[in-house]
Amino acid sequence: MNTKRLTTEDVTQGAAVIAAGGLLGIPTETVYGLGANGLDPNAVAAIFAAKGRPQDNPLILHIPDPSWLERYCADIPATAYALARRFWPGPLTMILRRKAIVPDAVTAGLDTVGMRCPDCAVTRAIIAAAGVPVAAPSGNTSGRPSPTTAEAMLEDMDGKIDAIVDGGPCAVGVESTILDLTAAPPRLLRPGGVTLEQLREVLGEVSVDEAVTRLMSTNEQPRAPGMKYRHYAPKAPVTVVSGEPEAAAQYIAAHLEPGDGVICFNDYVNLFEGCPVEAIGPADDQESHAQHIFEALRAFDHKDATRIWAQSPDPTGLGLAVTNRLNKAAGFHIIKL
Ligand code: TXA
Ligand code: MG
């Protein structure tokens, strides 16, 4: 198939791809998504095929406006509306009870569904014009780092999707926060663009699922099925070094062997002269770390590196999402200083 390149002007063409049951690459503020009509089981099946995604991993539905929640969700708690008012459109996915109209193909048979209203005008306009919710996982081949540019998504999906809308680089750079509102207290299943601290400002108590901070063994069932899979992984093995930035950089420099690559803060690039380095921003700039982490991981697939060392930010604020993605890329192979 010849994948058409669309621009942010092409709302009608994008909506036509969705309405016809096709696959459309969509920009969002978090990462690019692989979208299809979320009410059409055949279109949804095509998403799984294009990504090579395990069948037991449910998809989230994207809507253009919070008022669409009632179409697909039942027993919506008041907290969902409070969160929508504060964070939508934006990088928050809420897990709610689903209505029967949502196909099993989307939810992998669960009685809940993830709902998200993205902060990206062209994508909301396409969904509204198509008149159906858009099921969309991140636009990578299953297991690879999520794409934050149209070019990165095409590396994985060129020829496998009908079209992609190029909306430029994603502003946030890591996927949405996933919050399970069917649990009491609400439970963070995946850290993302909306921070745990921000959620607690609105909700008070929020628990953190164990899968966020540690490796799940093969016989465990995390609440977000996707959290059990090895993820975000470049081809070379990754080791995360956490701790005070200067000490972590010095540790990596001391243990570096010829052929190794490094992901580090801009402040320490000069320690690693002569080896492949990806800088993800100044040590104190969490937004920059989030924007650059997936490109850094992807970049190593085009470079020869035997092993990759990565500096890890503080797990506070947006840093919780960045450390989670790095730790998963490393299979939780972490050196704590
Ligand atoms: O930012 C994002 O959320 C991006 C953009 C494209 O919107 N989408 C995204 O989708 O990251 P995906 O499929 O790559 O990740 C969704 C995660 C998976 O780990 C999945 O298991 C979990 O959400 N999930 C989906 N539905 C769920 C449900 N009903 N209950 C628990 N977890 C669910
Ligand atoms: Mg994904």
Better-scored residue on pLDDT, 226 or 43: 43
Per-residue pLDDT at 56 exceeds 80: yes
CB 13 near ligand 1, within 6 Å: no
pLDDT score of 251: 98
Return d(Cα 320, Cα 264) in angstroms, integer.
17
| Mean of pLDDT values over 50-64 | 97
Return d(Cα 336, Cα 198) in angstroms, integer.
27
Better-scored residue on pLDDT, 276 or 217: 276
The three-state (H, E, C) secondary structure of the chain, written as one string: CCCEEECCCCHHHHHHHHHCCCCEEECCCCCCEEEEECCCHHHHHHHHHHHCCCCCCCCEEECCCHHHHHHHEECCCHHHHHHHHHHCCCCEEEEEEECCCCCHHHHCCCCEEEEECCCCHHHHHHHHHHCCCEECCECCCCCCCCCCCHHHHHHHHCCCCCEEECCCCCCCCCCCEEEECCCCCCEEEECCCCCHHHHHHHHCCCEECHHHCCCCCCCCCCCCHHHHCCCCCCCCCEEEEECCHHHHHHHHHHHCCCCCEEEECHHHHHHHCCCCEEECCCCCCHHHHHHHHHHHHHHCCCCCCCCEEEEECCCCCCHHHHHHHHHHHCCCCEEEC
| Mean of pLDDT values over 183-212 | 97
Whether residue 185 has a cis bond before it, omega within 30° of 0: yes
Round the CA-based radius of gyration of the chain to a whole number and report it.
19
CB 107 near ligand 1, within 6 Å: yes
State the distance from the centre of ligand 2 to the C-alpha of 137, rounded, in angstroms: 5
pLDDT score of 227: 75
| Mean of pLDDT values over 175-203 | 98
* Sequence letter at residue 29: E
Return d(Cα 208, Cα 186) in angstroms, integer.
9
CB 33 near ligand 1, within 6 Å: yes
| Mean of pLDDT values over 5-15 | 98
Mutate to test the pocket of ligand 1, among 23, 60, 113 (most ligand atoms within 8 A of CB): 60
Per-residue pLDDT at 160 exceeds 80: yes
Task: Report the range of poorest mean pLDDT among 55-64, 218-227, 278-287.
Answer: 218-227
Between helix 78-87 and helix 196-203 the angle, nearest 10°, is 130
Per-residue pLDDT at 90 exceeds 70: yes
CB 136 near ligand 1, within 6 Å: yes
Phi first, then psi, for residue 233 (nearest 5°) are -95, 125
pLDDT score of 230: 67
CB 206 near ligand 1, within 6 Å: no
| Nearest ligand to residue 113 Cα | 1
Max mean pLDDT among 127-141, 202-216, 225-239 falls in: 127-141
| Mean of pLDDT values over 102-131 | 98
The proportion of the chain whose per-residue pLDDT surpasses 90, expressed as a percent, equals 91
Cβ-contact 134, 16 below 8 angstroms: no
pLDDT score of 119: 98
Q: Looking at the DSSP assignment, which residues form a beta bridge with residue 97?
A: 74, 112
pTM over 0.85: yes
| Mean of pLDDT values over 27-49 | 98
Ligand 1 atom showing the smallest separation from residue 98 Cα: 29
Number of Cβ within a 10 Å radius of residue 295: 17
What's the whole-number average pLDDT of the chain?
Answer: 96
Mutate to test the pocket of ligand 1, among 104, 178, 194, 318 (most ligand atoms within 8 A of CB): 178
pLDDT score of 231: 75
pLDDT score of 89: 98
Per-residue pLDDT at 299 exceeds 80: yes
CB 224 near ligand 1, within 6 Å: yes
Ligand 1 atom showing the smallest separation from residue 138 Cα: 14
State the distance from the centre of ligand 1 to the C-alpha of 146, rounded, in angstroms: 12
Ligand 1 atom showing the smallest separation from residue 30 Cα: 1
Report residue 153 as tokens: 């998504």
Better-scored residue on pLDDT, 190 or 218: 190
Per-residue pLDDT at 235 exceeds 90: no
| Nearest ligand to residue 93 Cα | 1
CB 154 near ligand 1, within 6 Å: no
CA nearest neighbour of 157 among 82, 284, 294, 46: 46
Ligand 1 atom showing the smallest separation from residue 174 Cα: 1
| Nearest ligand to residue 227 Cα | 1
pLDDT score of 53: 95
Which protein residues have their CB within 5 A of the ion that is ligand 2? Answer: 138
Phi first, then psi, for residue 58 (nearest 5°) are -70, 160
| Nearest ligand to residue 58 Cα | 1
User: Atom 31 of ligand 1 has which residue's CA nearest to it?
Assistant: 224
How many alpha carbons lie under 13 Å from residue 85 in its C-beta half-sphere? 7
